[in-house]
Amino acid sequence: MQGKIVAANWKMHGNNALAHTLAAAVVRHVHTAPPCTVVLCPPAVYLHVVAGEINSTPVSLGGQDCHGEAQGAFTGDIAAPMLKEAGCSYVIVGHSERRQFHYETSAQVRAKAAQALTHGLVPIVCVGESLAEREAGKAMDVVARQVSESVPGGADTEHFVLAYEPIWAIGTGRTAGADDIASMHRHIVEQARGARVLYGGSVKPGNAGEIMRLSHVAGVLVGGASLVAEDFCRIIDSCHPERWETV
Ligand code: PGA
């Protein structure tokens, strides 16, 4: 089995100073041998700051979104080759905040993921149900549909990552129960032919270990807790299997 992935989604938080401080703290913590793949996804204007801090270290850089075209008249958008040139190796696509507030459809998410693949980035394709959908017993169907519509056909599972992020667990302090995470991840892995699936939604140092050890959980996508260096470093440490009972 491949190692775990711990990805930080800073969203629209921070400033120049925090970008330096957080990235430097993560680099100091993982030094030369991180227990997992660590990916930092800062706001686009701080990519160069983080790139400078992680230069020649095992920490990877990611964008938070890219466009579904390689270039063009799309004011405010960022293309996958631009992220690549900025030093990224990953890009988050289809985050529920993009789907919700920017009305992105799964077809658009698939175009973004395809651009990422074309330009040598690993797309982290986000899926997840709303609370109403979960309460209506539709979570599995909603997520299955998002997966089939958002992942480019024929994409090699080595080259992309999925992230299951139940919308009701994002930034709320509520995490999905272990059984729900495990069954949803199994469902996605079976559908997506063995793809790696991260869990996201209120991951904290106190619950990362128990989530990380669930089968079919390839790692975590962390929002709020990734903005606190100590918390994020403890989540990275939870990738050590010997920590899974104690973290
Ligand atoms: P959260 O965000 O960890 O703050 O819940 C996760 C995400 O939206 O990726």
What pLDDT is attached to residue 175? 84
- Contact call for residues 78 and 63 (beta carbons, < 8 A): yes
Shortest-distance Cα residue to atom 7 of ligand 1: 223
Q: Return the axis-axis angle of helices 178-191 and 205-212, rounded to nearest 10°.
A: 50
pLDDT at 1 over 60: no
Q: Ligand 1, closest atom to CA 201?
A: 5
What pTM, to 2 d.p., does this model score? 0.96
What is the position in ligand 1's atom list of the atom closest to the CA of 202? 5
CA of 154 to the centre of ligand 1 (A): 29
What is the average pLDDT across 119-132? 97
Burial of 185 (0-12, 13-18, 19+ CB in 10 A): buried
pLDDT reported for residue 247: 46
In the reported structure, the alpha carbon of residue 206 is separated from the centroid of ligand 1 by a whole-number distance in angstroms of 15
Of residues 33, 36, 34, the one with CA closest to residue 1: 36
If pLDDT is split at 50, 70 and 90, which confidence band does 245 have? low
Distance of alpha carbon 12 from alpha carbon 29, whole angstroms: 24
* Residue 165 near ligand 1, beta carbon < 6 Å: yes
C-beta of 202 in contact with ligand 1 (< 6 A)? yes
Average pLDDT over residues 197-211: 96
- Is the pLDDT at 244 greater than 70? The verdict is no
Residue 198: the pLDDT is 98
Q: Is the CB of 62 under 6 A from ligand 1?
A: no
- Packing angle, helices 47-54 and 16-30, rounded to 10: 30
| Residue 225 pLDDT exceeds 80 | yes
Give me the active site residues, please. Answer: 95, 165
pLDDT tens column, 58-108:
999 999 999 999 999 999 999 999 999 999 999 999 999 999 999 999 999
Average pLDDT, the chain: 95
